[in-house]
Structures are given as C-alpha cells and as structure tokens.
Amino acid sequence: MVACAVGPQRLLAIALLLAAVGACSNIHAGDPLAFVNEARQRVDALHDSNYRFDALFVDFNSDGCPDIFIISHSDWGATSQLWNNRCDGSGTFRHVPASEAGYYIEGPPLVSGWVTRLDFNGDGRQDFWGRHGSAMGARYRNGSADGSPTPRFAAKEEGCEGYCAFADITGSGNLEVITDNRQVLDTAGRQLRPASGKKALQVVGDITGDGWPDIVQPANGGYWRNDAGTLAWVAVPAFTGDSFMQMLLADFDHDGHLDLVKTRFQDNLGLWRNNTDTRGRRWMKVRVRGGGGNSDGVGASVRWYQAGTNQLVSHMPVLVGEQHPQTHLHTGLAGHQVVDLEVRFPSGGPVYR
C-alpha cells in the first residue's frame, strides 16, 4: 500500500505541459533485438487480412491460458478470428471459426473495433464490448460451459451508442456504462444518470482522490466531479476545448494524482499534470497478480471497504481495452487512513480480503 497527502484548493488545477517524448533503454546501440516469428509454428491456421484490426489476449474459456482474438474494423467484424490456446503446455493455438464459437453474428448491432474485454453480466466469464462509430455497438455475452476446451458466445446484444467507458459511478458495486453525452447506464441499459452537456470523448478515473470515479471531458473544457454519486460540472481552464482522439489517465509523476495524456491525428502529444489540492486525501495504487495464464488478473473485481466493515469506499474492475491500457488500478481513499482491500478473481476464482 502507498498513501500520501497533498495540499490546499478544492478546484482541479491542471498544468499544461508541452511534452517532447523520448525513450530510454538498457539495450546498447549495436545490440540486435531478439524476436522470433513463431506464428506458423504455434498457430495451426493463418488468415490474411487487408483490414485494420484490434488484437487481444483474453481467456474466453476460463482455462487459465490466454487465447488470441482479432477483431476486424473495416468489414464490421466479418473477418474477425479467434485462436484458442490448447493449454497443454505446447504453446500452440487452434483456429476456431465464428460458426463454432459465435464471436461474429451478421447484422446489427455491429462492432467495428475499439474493443474492451470485461465481464459485463457478472458471471465470472470474459465477454467483449465493441464500438461502431457513433451508431449502436454490439457486445457479446460469453456462454462457454465450465471445463469446455472451446469458447462459445451465447448471444450478441446491444451495447451502447458512440464511445463508452466503464466504471462504478453511483457506488452500486456494479460495473456501469458512461456514454460520451455523460449518460450513466447500468449494463442492462437502464438509465442511472441523465445525459448532460455536449457530446465529447470521455475518460473516467478518480482525479479528486475521494474514492469516486470522475468523468473527464477535455473537449468540453472540464470534468464531471463525482460527489458520492452526484455529478457536478467543473471547468478546467487548462483544457483548450479541442477535439481529442485518444486519452489516458495515469499518475506519471507518482504524486498520487491521475494526470491526463491526449493524442490527436496530425497533432502533438499533450500532457496535463494534475495539481489538484486533495486536502490530505490518501490514495492507493494496486496491481493484481493472478496465476496461470492470467497473470495480470484481468476480470478481477477490486473493492476498498472502510476497515472492519462492508461500507464501500471504492470499486474498480481490472479491464483491458482502449480506455483501460494499464492493468494496475489507482483510486483515492477520501479521508480513510486504513481500509480493507478485497480482490475477487474471475471465473469462480478465489476471493482475498
């Protein structure tokens, strides 16, 4: 556990940095990189594609071994491919066609990329959720039988329109969906918070250190502060109100505050350092480590409770996708100096508290 306290204002103050990014490495200039192409040795069927795609490692059949999943963009998923890890120690993969596994079903709603793997119905199995431009995107519910060597998706369902993020905004203890017009829905599509403000790409994280995830929309010039489930707009002068293509929240300077990185087509990297005065609120950064092929604990549910009680302080799942490229979790703990930490592993795995 790492906890720290910081100083005096309530409003979010973020300093704009014009960043020039370099790289450092322990590899000397003359040293070759030792990569070996093992595709044809490890994968029993290769399918060429001329399409842009997303690639994921994900354990769809819950056998502890990561499978390879490719989602094609330009043809709305028609040439998506799944290679199932044989999980026999050979390190080889068997191609599973969509007709067998059900990861592509023709017709709307569609997926044209921007895929997040997550357990949206809470049954412990890894599902996936995709975007289809500004139209309704699809999500696929995993129906793999326990112990089955082959993944199988039970249904394709409507996901959400446009660009969506995932977090527990209301403190329900469940995963919720946040749309780009700031609407908050449960995973059954019921509205929990109405839309508000202009549409803008959003990223979600606890930037105020109180244990509640906030909704950051730099293109609108500010963020929605989450006060125990109530959302209030706060303007941030450092945000230029421009359209961003990609965003990420991360504590790059290790001061306990989530900072913002943005990229945009034909533009430079932008980096905003979070100087928020969190009034002595503490924070914790957690990295879940699992066994077998799921070493990053993807799909695990992590909850922070007031010490010795079941009163929830914060709740975050371990997700992987466009909005969730980091496998460690970062949350504020409000005024709590000591908390209980609970980790529930997916697929009926162990629970630690």
Q: What is the rounded distance in angstroms from the CA atom of residue 95 to the CA atom of residue 244?
A: 37
Q: Are strands 259-263 and 270-274 parallel, antiparallel or unpaired?
A: antiparallel
Cα 77 from Cα 304, distance rounded (Å): 38
| Model pLDDT, residue 284 | 84
Cross-strand partners of 186: 176
What is the 8-class DSSP label of residue 252?
Answer: T
> In terms of C-beta density within 10 A (0-12 exposed, 13-18 middle, 19 or more buried), how is residue 232 classed?
exposed
The alpha helices in the chain, defined as continuous H runs, are: 39-42, 98-101
Q: What are phi and psi of 330, to 5 degrees?
A: -135, 125
Task: Write the DSSP symbol of residue 220.
Answer: G
Res 91: pLDDT:
81
User: What per-residue confidence (pLDDT) applies to 196?
Assistant: 92
pLDDT of residue 22: 30
89 Cβ contact partners less than 8 Å away, ≥ 6 residues apart:
none
Question: Counting beta carbons within 10 angstroms of the beta carbon of residue 29, is it exposed (0 to 12), middle (13 to 18) or buried (19 or more)?
Answer: exposed
Check the CA dihedral 214-157-349-293 and report its sign. negative
Q: Kindly write down the DSSP assignment for every residue of 20-56, as one continuous string.
A: ------SS-TTPPP-----HHHHBS------S-EEEE
- Our measurement of the distance from residue 173's CA atom to the centroid of its chain's CA atoms, rounded to an integer in Å, reads 17
SS3 99: helix
| Residue 11: predicted pLDDT | 38
Question: Which residue ranges of the chain lie beneath pLDDT 70?
Answer: 1-40, 42, 45-52, 240-246, 263-270, 291-296, 298-299, 320-327, 346-348
* pLDDT computed for residue 12 by the predictor: 42
User: How far from chain centre, in Å, is Cα 306?
Assistant: 25
Between CA 142 and CA 119 the distance in angstroms is: 9
| Residue found by looking up tokens 């039988």 in the block | 145
Q: Which residues pair with 136 in a beta bridge?
A: 161
Show the tokens assigned to 6: 């910081």
Q: How many CA atoms lie within 13 A of 304 on its CB side?
A: 25
pTM: 0.75
Cα distances from 302 to residues 57, 71, 81, 167, 313, in angstroms, run 21, 28, 31, 12, 11
